[in-house]
């Protein structure tokens, strides 16, 4: 049987039985050497081409794994993400954290389709950019790659991206499975969580993506409850396959993911990426009986099943789709919807045409779109804040200064109506810790990785304080991956924006919002604390122990449970109009809770309001409330709309460790509102 014969049989009769039979038939024709090759990344040739053609450029072309030319079996052709396709000169979308702030999974689906098209046009059939690790602490250096602190939000956005890329025939890979939320110690930290915490907080978003049909998954570097994730039978077989019914294949995180080849393969880790290291020992391990050939066959069949399923969905794309006008416009739309306004004192914004603007700071005219590690996207241009504002308001009205001398910045601000000060972080302060290829005793300065502090740099704080002495309206634009503690200066600002890393059209989007051409509608996908000590514990290089206990509560659930008042709550964001929620009612029927409500635009401009729905169990010892739905609603000035959000009862269930099952409580109250603390509640609803 040839691979295309297997695909044809599956297309004619697309059942699980046909899929299993055709995969087994292909596997039976392969030699042991061919089977072992199916389990290996072999990106060495691609890396050599990348160095020769592009210089030092990770994943400039697809990284191949597996494949069998004799039987026509294609390689798994890997492309990284998640802010776009890493290969070539692709469209740099805003980071996942900003896209999440839009509270719009339909938008994320469209971005996923664009990413799939650009991946296919450049030869890939696999996208490993669905990062759904939970943001437990904002110091995590790779927070920008994920969707925030809430499991429901992670799951819903991850599902949208998974379904979108696979609709075009690109295999989706959620990552990094599991408990991966510390970067500097990613090769050694042991994250521990009890059964309920694991299944209620850290795994449900992965399960959502598996239920949505993800064909692959990437195991993380770190340990989970004492065992490295790539070697963990509990994660890869007991939970992933036996509990969740996952039928796809698992790959290792790159280079250092696997620690014991026999243990990893026996646990269910199928492909070592991107080269062969530990799996080079497989022939000897099979010969000595430490790995059975039947175990190799299981892995090979899992890979074959995914390839056969994926092939009929493949929609080839022309090279012209890469960085096309439509995708650049989509990047701009996403930035406009996700940039979050935290403050607008005395309605200082929007900025009227003809006003003069000083754009100040280290990031005023510097390309700053996020990490320079595996998620880097090499777009040929980026619109900075200065360029975006200059194009919108005119060169004669917009002046630039990098902020190196605070007094010079003050002089420029003093001659302007507005001062837009651009502060925050870049790849030197947060991102992938590329220096750490082993055990590092002391972290070099400017090496990325986890943040050393949750506050912006001291020189930026000094710049804000100095510029605040001018009569100009002070607008602070924060660039970065997650929450910052800003209590020492936020009272000085007339306006504050969280623009995250906003992609290649980020400066254009910022100008759209500051001018009022776009009404801001982003909402925080994390909680901003008043003090760093308000967050859970974190582990850094130099700590006495590399073990950390992940508790049941973090983010807004911990703040509410412990009565901590945040600086800015989860789900918070301002617009140029005010919204109100009313007529909240909930009812349960046929396994679904229907939450009805009305939302009103009380302003004089049109806008979009991401309404959030939270559930509170009436049973003891539960989170005060948990996000269980959201709906983005467009409203004209003065308009009221009614809406309904359906919540499956299954989504309300908690894990019962004693019964080893998910069970819903008997009654819930549903809260509908504009943030986790600004809600109106329903009467109690009995669950059928």
Rounded to an integer, what distance in angstroms lies between the CA atom of residue 339 and that of residue 521? Answer: 7
One domain, residues 537 and 597: no
Query: Mean pLDDT for the chain?
Result: 96
Beta bridge partners of 475: 420, 495
One domain, residues 181 and 136: yes
How many domains, in total, are found in the chain?
Answer: 3
One domain, residues 79 and 106: yes
Q: Is residue 20 part of a domain?
A: no
Give mean pLDDT, residues 647-660: 96
Question: Can you give the length of the chain in residues?
Answer: 688
CATH number assigned to the domain comprising residue 258: 3.20.20.300
Q: Is residue 3 part of a domain?
A: no
One domain, residues 261 and 384: no
DSSP 117-137: HHHHHTT--EEEEEE-----S
**Active-site option among 100, 104, 253, 365:** 253
pTM (global) more than 0.95: yes
Q: Is residue 4 part of a domain?
A: no
One domain, residues 356 and 487: yes
Q: Which tens digits make up the pLDDT trace of 449-466? A: 999 999 999 999 999 999
Give mean pLDDT, residues 653-674: 96
One domain, residues 311 and 410: no
Range with the poorest average pLDDT among 56-65, 527-536, 597-606: 56-65
Nearest to 424 by CA among 403, 445, 397: 403
One domain, residues 381 and 454: yes
> Does 253 participate in catalysis according to the annotation?
yes
* Residue 50 pLDDT level (bands cut at 50, 70, 90): low
One domain, residues 348 and 457: yes
One domain, residues 552 and 589: no
Rounded to an integer, what distance in angstroms lies between the CA atom of residue 164 and that of residue 87? Answer: 19
Token representation of residue 301? 């069949």
Could you tell me the residue range of the domain that residue 648 belongs to? Answer: 579-686
Give mean pLDDT, residues 355-378: 97
One domain, residues 51 and 163: yes
pLDDT for residue 363: 98
DSSP 88-128: TT---PPPHHHHHHT--HHHHHHHHHHHHHHHHHTT--EEE
One domain, residues 316 and 352: no
Q: Is residue 570 part of a domain?
A: no
| The pLDDT of residue 31 is above 90 | yes
Q: Which tens digits make up the pLDDT trace of 593-632? A: 999 999 999 999 999 999 999 999 999 899 999 999 999 9
One domain, residues 93 and 188: yes
């Amino acid at each position: 049987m040839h691979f295309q014969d297997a695909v044809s049989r599956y297309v004619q009769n697309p059942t699980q039985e046909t899929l299993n039979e055709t995969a087994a038939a292909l596997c039976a024709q392969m030699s042991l050497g061919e089977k072992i090759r199916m389990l290996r990344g072999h990106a060495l040739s691609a890396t050599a081409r990348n160095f020769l053609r592009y210089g030092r450029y990770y994943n400039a072309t697809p990284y191949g794994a597996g494949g069998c030319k004799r039987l026509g079996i294609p390689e798994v052709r890997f492309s990284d993400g998640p802010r776009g396709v890493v290969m070539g000169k692709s469209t740099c979308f805003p980071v996942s954290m900003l896209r999440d702030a839009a509270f719009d999974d339909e938008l994320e689906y469209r971005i996923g389709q664009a990413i799939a098209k650009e991946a296919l046009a450049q030869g890939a059939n696999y996208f490993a950019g669905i990062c759904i690790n939970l943001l437990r602490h904002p110091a995590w250096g790779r927070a920008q790659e994920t969707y925030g602190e809430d499991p429901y939000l992670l799951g819903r956005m991850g599902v949208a991206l998974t379904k979108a890329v696979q609709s075009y025939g690109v295999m989706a890979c959620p990552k990094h499975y599991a408990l991966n939320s510390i970067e500097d110690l990613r090769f050694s930290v042991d994250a521990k969580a009890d059964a309920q915490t694991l299944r209620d907080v850290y795994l449900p978003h992965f399960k959502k993506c598996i239920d949505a049909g993800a064909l692959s998954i990437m195991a993380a570097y770190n340990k989970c409850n004492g065992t490295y994730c790539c070697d963990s039978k509990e994660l890869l077989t007991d939970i992933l396959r036996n509990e969740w019914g996952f039928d796809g294949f698992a790959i290792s995180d790159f280079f250092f993911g696997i620690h014991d080849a026999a243990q990893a393969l026996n646990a269910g880790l199928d492909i070592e990426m991107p080269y062969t290291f530990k799996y080079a020992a497989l022939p000897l391990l099979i010969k000595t009986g430490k790995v059975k050939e039947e175990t190799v066959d299981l892995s090979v069949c899992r890979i074959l099943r995914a390839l056969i399923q994926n092939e009929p969905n493949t929609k080839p794309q022309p090279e012209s789709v890469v960085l096309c006008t439509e995708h650049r416009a989509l990047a701009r739309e996403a930035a406009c919807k996700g940039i979050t306004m935290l403050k607008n004192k005395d309605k200082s914004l929007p900025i009227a045409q003809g006003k003069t603007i000083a754009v100040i700071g280290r990031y005023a005219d510097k390309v700053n779109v996020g990490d320079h590690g595996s998620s880097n996207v090499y777009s040929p241009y980026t619109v900075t804040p200065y360029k975006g504002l200059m194009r919108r308001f005119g060169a004669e009205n917009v002046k630039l200064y990098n902020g190196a001398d605070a007094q010079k910045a003050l002089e420029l601000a003093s001659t302007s109506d507005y001062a837009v000060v651009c502060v925050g972080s870049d790849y030197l302060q947060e991102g992938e810790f590329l220096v750490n290829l082993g055990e590092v005793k002391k972290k070099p300065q400017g090496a990325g990785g986890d943040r050393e502090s949750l506050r912006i740099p001291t020189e930026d704080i000094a710049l804000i304080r100095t510029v605040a002495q001018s009569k100009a309206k002070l607008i602070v634009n924060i660039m970065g991956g997650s929450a910052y503690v800003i209590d020492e200066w936020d009272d000085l600002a007339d306006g504050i924006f969280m623009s995250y890393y906003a992609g290649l059209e980020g400066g254009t989007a910022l100008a759209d919002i500051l001018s009022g051409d776009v009404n801001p509608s982003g909402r925080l996908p994390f909680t901003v604390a008043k003090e760093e000590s308000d967050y859970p514990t974190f582990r850094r290089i130099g700590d006495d122990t590399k073990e950390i206990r992940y508790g049941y509560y973090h983010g807004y659930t911990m703040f509410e449970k412990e009565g901590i008042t945040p600086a800015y709550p989860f789900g918070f964001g301002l617009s140029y109009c005010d919204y109100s929620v009313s007529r909240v009612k909930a009812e349960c029927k046929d396994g679904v809770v229907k939450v009805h409500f009305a939302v009103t635009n009380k302003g004089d401009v049109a806008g979009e309001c991401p309404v959030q729905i939270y559930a509170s169990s009436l049973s003891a010892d539960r989170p005060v409330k948990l996000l269980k739905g959201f709906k983005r609603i467009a409203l004209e000035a003065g308009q009221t709309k009614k809406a309904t959000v359906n919540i499956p009862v299954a989504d309300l269930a908690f894990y019962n460790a004693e019964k080893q099952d998910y069970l819903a409580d008997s009654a819930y109250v549903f809260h509908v509102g504009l943030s986790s603390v600004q809600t109106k509640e329903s009467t109690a609803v009995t669950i059928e």
